[in-house]
């Protein structure tokens, strides 16, 4: 799936993973990887009560630990594809 297709799909779907005050734990990474493998696309929402003030912080933590790749970061939402 290319980024253009992923972005279109991402607009139509709801977030399936939320990052809150606990931050991005090993459990969140495991769930991202599980959903990427089964669905091919995951939409992650970083809530305001998370420890990440800048999305670049969350993106940096996620990008090296997931099996997929980040297709888009928009606002507080990260779209991850296979």
| pLDDT, tens digit, 9 for 90 and up, residues 8-19 | 888 889 999 999
Neighbours of 5 (CB within 10 A): 12
- Listed in sequence order, the residues at least 6 apart from 16 whose beta carbon sits closer than 8 Å to its beta carbon are 35, 42, 43, 44
Residue 26 banded pLDDT, cuts 50, 70, 90: very high
Task: Give the residue, 6 or 19, on which the prediction is more confident.
Answer: 19
CA distance to 41, 63, 82, per residue, from 21 (Å): 24, 20, 27
Q: What percent of the chain has pLDDT over 90?
A: 70
pLDDT score at 66 = 92
* Short-list 49, 55, 54, CA closest to 77: 55
pLDDT score at 5 = 79
E strands along 2-68, which residues? 17-19, 41-46
Mean pLDDT of all residues in 62-77: 91
């Amino acid at each position: 799936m290319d980024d253009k297709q992923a972005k279109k799909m991402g607009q139509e779907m709801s977030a399936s993973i939320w990052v809150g005050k606990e931050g991005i734990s090993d459990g969140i990474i495991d769930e991202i990887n599980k959903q990427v493998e089964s669905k091919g696309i995951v939409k992650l929402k970083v809530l305001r009560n998370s420890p990440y003030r800048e999305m670049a912080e969350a993106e940096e933590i996620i990008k090296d630990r997931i099996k997929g790749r980040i297709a888009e970061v928009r606002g507080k939402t990260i779209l991850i594809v296979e």
